[in-house]
Amino acid sequence: MSGSFPRTGWRFTVGLVSFAVVVACSGDDGTGDPASPTPTATVTQDAAAQAEEQIRTVFERFIGAVVEAQSGAADDPAALFEGLATDETVEFNAGIASRYADQGIVRVGEPVISDVNVQVVDRSGVVSACMDESAWTPQLTSGEAIPPAEEQLTPHPVVYEVVEAGGSWLIGEAIEPGGTITC
Amino acid sequence: MLTPRRVSQVLTAVAVLLVGLLGSIAPGQAAGVRGVDPANDPCYVFIEVSPGVFEYVNICPDPDEDDSGEDGDSGTNGPRCDLTEEPYDEFCLGTKACRADIPSPLPEDEWPPEETRPSPEHIFTFVECRVPGQQEIERRWRWVKPYEGSIPGLGWQALGRLETPAFTMTFRPAGMTYVGADTRYLLDGLGDGDIIGSVAGPLQATGTLSHVEIDPGDGSDTFDCDPDLRSNACEHVYLEMSHEQTAQDLDGRPAFAAQARLVYDVIFTMGGVEVSLPGVPDTLESPWNGTVVPVGEIQALVRSR
């Protein structure tokens, strides 16, 4: 099966992450352990900020890889995702690119990504954003236009899980936005 | 030479082109685009293959699949493809040997518009095919008619679509019954006894009420009853009072928690013809639903006379 679908497990993980974020935040502004020196908190915050920055960069590059994979320009779409996504997500995206190649479909232009938001706890988290695909148009390799679907013209939320592996962050599965994000 | 007529033709063409371009740029004008674009091709649909991730899919069959309208059926001419290599051994699409995810991993509300569906028997799912003379496996989302061997999988899906009615349970004598008396149970909301599920691909499940199981709640065995409880109620004789029970009726009297569930015989039909599906249950039970039954001593009746 090439389709990748949300699993209850991930929902739980996301819930856990969201909960942990809340807990972590409420811990920050509360009266912390008097014995714990302030610098520790700063270091932790710095690490979190650093992780968030890395995730934003990886996400941006990941979307770039998705666009290139679906543009039909790459011979080996899977290679575009190297170091950016988990094996399953690489396979999933390479699958779409391969099906496009089979059917002679390409997408030209690119989506507009906005409102990127990162939540991370320890070694996993989620990155969410709004995706406007209206300028990322489908066509045939022959140049003939494919009428863009109505759904493509309205910005929609995307949420991906992110995991840390070997010191770097990888984009994992797409998960249900759950109605909390509006675009 | 540029004649006025020629100029007018060119201007008209440019105007049409501009309208087309503007239409495709302006967001929220999908209907306009579809109207103007000559490539208004129903072959291409946009499906959500993962949350927030969309994919364009060509859902029209390839020319070499033209005669595959009966794909998956055990046709009279035998298979036109080589079904000897696993896992591509499920059905033929023309000369392609294929397998499909059945039931579909895509929920039905994500399937392409109904007008693209070749027949009500087709399902939209992920299909992988081995193409003769080609190294790579062809993988595609598409409409397929489920082949014979996939039917049990769909049977489970069809079974899951049968909804048992939300019934209510009452008893007579109303309000309170007595040790040694005949207590009759009545169920309301059973409808005509038949339940019909929405179709799962080519399959439809139909349930016919077979009987009702009653648990009197006094520790005695569950027993079966005739389905038509309005004319032929089930009866039970309580042998002890309910005064030590924790359950209470609306008046606060201790009561037995009696309950019932409906048991249906299920048949599966394909195109109106009943099919047998080995391994798929042929009965379906409703959830238990009940009422509280306070049981008093018969002496109460004697004293009241």
What are the sequence ranges of the domains in chain B? 39-146, 160-304
Tokens describing residue A141:
């390799």
**Model-level pTM?**
0.59
pLDDT > 90: percent of chain B: 42
Between A87-103 and A38-71, two packed helices, what is the crossing angle to 10 degrees? 20
d(CA A137, nearest CA chain B) in Å: 9
B53 and A CB contact within 8 Å: yes
- Reported residue count of chain B is 305
CA atoms of A80 and A96, how far apart (whole Å) = 13
d(CA A27, nearest CA chain B) in Å: 33
Work out the pLDDT band at B298, boundaries 50, 70, 90.
Answer: low
B248-267 pLDDT tens trace: 999 999 999 999 999 999 99
B215-227 pLDDT tens trace: 999 999 999 988 6
Please give the full DSSP string across A28-61, using - where no structure is assigned: HHS---TTS-HHHHHHHHHHHHHHHHHHHHHHHH
What letter would DSSP give residue B200?
B
Asked if the structure places residue A108 within a domain, the reply is yes
Give yes or no for residue B178 having a pLDDT over 60: yes
The answer to whether residues B186 and B179 touch, using CB atoms and an 8 Å cutoff, is no
Sign of the four-CA dihedral B72, B77, B81, B82: positive
> Across chain A, what does the average pLDDT equal?
81
B243 and A CB contact within 8 Å: no
Work out the pLDDT band at A43, boundaries 50, 70, 90.
Answer: low
Q: Which residue of B has its CA nearest to A134?
A: B27
List the single residue in A92, A134, A144 with the smallest CB-CB distance to B27: A134
B113 and A CB contact within 8 Å: no
Work out the pLDDT band at B204, boundaries 50, 70, 90.
Answer: confident
pLDDT of residue A40: 52
Domain count, chain A: 1
B69-96 pLDDT tens trace: 444 444 445 668 888 889 998 889 989 9
**Interface predicted TM-score of the whole assembly (ipTM), two decimals:** 0.76
Instruction: Look at residues A93, A99, A88 and name the one whose alpha carbon lies nearest to residue A62.
Output: A93
A117 and B CB contact within 8 Å: no
Maximum separation of any 2 CA atoms in chain B, in Å: 120
Is B33 in Cβ contact with A3 (below 8 Å)?
no
List the single residue in B40, B46, B139 with the smallest CB-CB distance to A2: B139
Asked if the structure places residue A153 within a domain, the reply is yes
The answer to whether residues B126 and A1 touch, using CB atoms and an 8 Å cutoff, is yes
HEC secondary structure over A131-153:
EECCCEEEEECCCCECCCCHHHH
Work out the pLDDT band at B9, boundaries 50, 70, 90.
Answer: low
List the single residue in B48, B50, B52 with the smallest CB-CB distance to A157: B52
Is A107 in Cβ contact with B51 (below 8 Å)?
no
List the single residue in B28, B101, B140 with the smallest CB-CB distance to A99: B140
pLDDT of residue B77: 58
Q: Bridge partners of B91?
A: B98
B134 and A CB contact within 8 Å: no
Q: What is the dihedral of CA A24, A25, A29, A31, to 10 degrees?
A: -20
Stretch B154-167: mean pLDDT? 89
pLDDT of residue A59: 97
Work out the pLDDT band at B232, boundaries 50, 70, 90.
Answer: low
We report the CATH number of the domain holding residue A118 as 3.10.450.240
d(CA B86, nearest CA chain A) in Å: 15
Which residue blocks in chain B are alpha helix, DSSP H? 4-25, 30-36, 151-160, 299-304
Give yes or no for residue A15 having a pLDDT over 50: no
Asked if the structure places residue A84 within a domain, the reply is yes
Q: What is the dihedral of CA B276, B277, B282, B288, to 10 degrees?
A: -150
Stretch B17-38: mean pLDDT? 34
| Domain membership of residue A103 as a residue range | 39-174
pLDDT of residue B73: 45
Instruction: Look at residues B291, B264, B57 and name the one whose alpha carbon lies nearest to residue B169.
Output: B291
CATH 2.60.40 fits B160-304, yes or no: yes
pLDDT of residue A62: 98
Asked if the structure places residue A16 within a domain, the reply is no
Asked if the structure places residue A3 within a domain, the reply is no
Q: Which span out of B61-65, B106-110, B178-182, B202-206 was modeled with the highest average pLDDT? A: B178-182
A89-100 pLDDT tens trace: 999 999 999 999
B30 and A CB contact within 8 Å: yes
